[in-house]
Structure 1
Amino acid sequence: MKIHDLSIENSILNTFISEIRDHKIQQDRMRFRRNIERIGEILAYEMSKTLTFEQNNVTTPLGMSAMQLPTNQIVLCSILRAGVPLHNGLLHFFDTAENAFISAYRHHKHNPESFEIIVEYLACPDLENKTLILADPMLATGQSMVATFEALKPFGTPKDIHLISVIGAEEGVNYVSKHFDSNTHLWIATIDKDLNDKGYIVPGIGDAGDLAFGKKLQQ
């Protein structure tokens, strides 16, 4: 798997990452969601450099302009609910993309420190020979990303696959590396070293879904 860690070079991305980490700033849900969107826009821009382009002639009021434009048929799949702001940011750049959504969540059976990934709701177009983007803001253990891909397999074989995350843990990055082939690209804003005993990224940001939309009702 090809890993593109954008934190290797300093850029304005650092500002948005610092704000979603800051426990005071992140209490503003609107600002948190917008920062996730902006990170998604930056990741989309960097990813776009690897797409396939061909020349098109564009008619202006004063003549013709030859432009290199992308030809990929993109399907953008996000994991609900935390993935919605990231999905929106990516969609700002890939505005003609088809869209897929999947509900994948951690189910704790008996031990709060162990869980399995449950996939329920799924809506997806045909994936055959298309460019699939799997977006999940937090790449913690990596199990959600892999479970999502397994659930999408009946919809066809993509031509290429791009994974997009805001923050990952080294363990999660290593896990998905073992489950996706060498031609898969991972685009990530930054990678943290550790997971805690509940599978959350440290230092991370906390629960991205709760920060974006409020705490879930506990059942």
Structure 2
Amino acid sequence: MSLPSNVHVSKHPCLLAKLSRLRSKSTESREVKSLINDISLILGCEALAASLTPVDGPKGETPIGSGLGMVEAIQTILPEPVPVHHLGLYREPSTLEPVEYYNNLPHHVSSSSSGPGTNASSLAIVVDPVIATGGTCAAAIQTLKEWGVKRIIVLSVVAAAEGVRRAAEEWPEAVEIWVAGVDAELTPKGMLKPGVGDVGDRLFLTIGK
């Protein structure tokens, strides 16, 4: 399938084996958590090796938003502790459009004459386990852009081709998207097929809520 040039699909054999296991409906919650962590770790290593160059001097702060199951793995890779900032977004069920319900980016709405971006980090890493329609990921990218971030790396376990295109086109000159796997099909309800199910439900056993 054809994807934008700023979308990178992992071909790591260990990652592909773990993704296959994650797709199985029989995989229990405890293993889902472990698989998400391992996939995030491998994907993060690939993305950061390709996207970052180590330099001497002060270390910048990097915000990490959403995807709680992926945060620990990415923090393990980074050389120093970084702040974790949360962007709470959900899809409105009827329209499938993103709705923001929480945002703890420092001073993300500036009332000073200096405008937005004064307190923003130069690099943001967004961890989003599933990119389906791409709406919430695109909204997160737009929010970080408005905050003043200069570069964004998005890490996702699995994405729909349609959704990852939408996210990639939001800010193509400053965003790199790294995914473990891409599914061609998106259902009318905005779910990936075959997908991995609702990652939040599988991690926290809230299936059927």
TM-score higher than 0.5 here? yes
2:199 and 2:85 map into 1 onto residues whose CA distance is: 20
Q: Supply the AA of the counterpart residue of 1:135.
A: V
2:167 and 2:177 map into 1 onto residues whose CA distance is: 9
| Higher Cα radius of gyration | 1
Tell me, what secondary structure is at the counterpart of 1:53?
coil
> After superposition, what is the alpha-carbon deviation per residue over 1:36-64, rounded to whole angstroms, capped at 9, x for unaligned?
011111111112212131258xxxxxxxx
Residues 63 and 121 in structure 2, CA contact (< 8 A), matched pair in contact too? no
Tell me the TM-score normalized by structure 2. Answer: 0.83
Cross-structure match for 1:4: 8
Residues 52 and 72 in structure 1, CA contact (< 8 A), matched pair in contact too? no
Cross-structure match for 1:66: none
Structure 1 residue 74: deviation in Å?
1.9
Name structure 1 gaps, 5 residues minimum: 57-69
1:93 and 1:10 map into 2 onto residues whose CA distance is: 17
Residues 99 and 125 in structure 1, CA contact (< 8 A), matched pair in contact too? no
Cross-structure match for 1:122: 103
Return the match for 2:63 from 47, 63, 75: 75
Structure 1 pair 129–34 and aligned structure 2 pair: CA distance change class (3 A): same
> After superposition, what is the alpha-carbon deviation per residue over 1:105-158, rounded to whole angstroms, capped at 9, x for unaligned?
1222xx4xx33221112212476352101111001000011122333445x312
Tell me, what secondary structure is at the counterpart of 1:98?
coil
Return the match for 2:91 from 106, 122, 129: 106
1:146 and 1:15 map into 2 onto residues whose CA distance is: 28
Structure 1 pair 212–177 and aligned structure 2 pair: CA distance change class (3 A): same
Tell me the TM-score normalized by structure 1. Answer: 0.79
Structure 1 residues 173-188: aligned runs within 5 Å: 173-188=164-179
Residues 99 and 124 in structure 1, CA contact (< 8 A), matched pair in contact too? no
Q: Is 1:34 aligned to residue 15 of structure 2? A: no
1:212 and 1:20 map into 2 onto residues whose CA distance is: 11
Percentage of pairs with the same residue:
26
Cross-structure match for 1:43: 43
Q: Supply the AA of the counterpart residue of 1:75.
A: P
Moved more, 136-145 or 173-182: 173-182
Structure 1 pair 193–35 and aligned structure 2 pair: CA distance change class (3 A): same
Cross-structure match for 1:88: 72
Structure 1 residue 23: deviation in Å?
0.9
Name structure 2 gaps, 5 residues minimum: 108-118
Matched residue count: 192
Tell me, what secondary structure is at the counterpart of 1:73?
coil
Structure 1 residue 10: deviation in Å?
4.4
Structure 1 pair 158–152 and aligned structure 2 pair: CA distance change class (3 A): closer
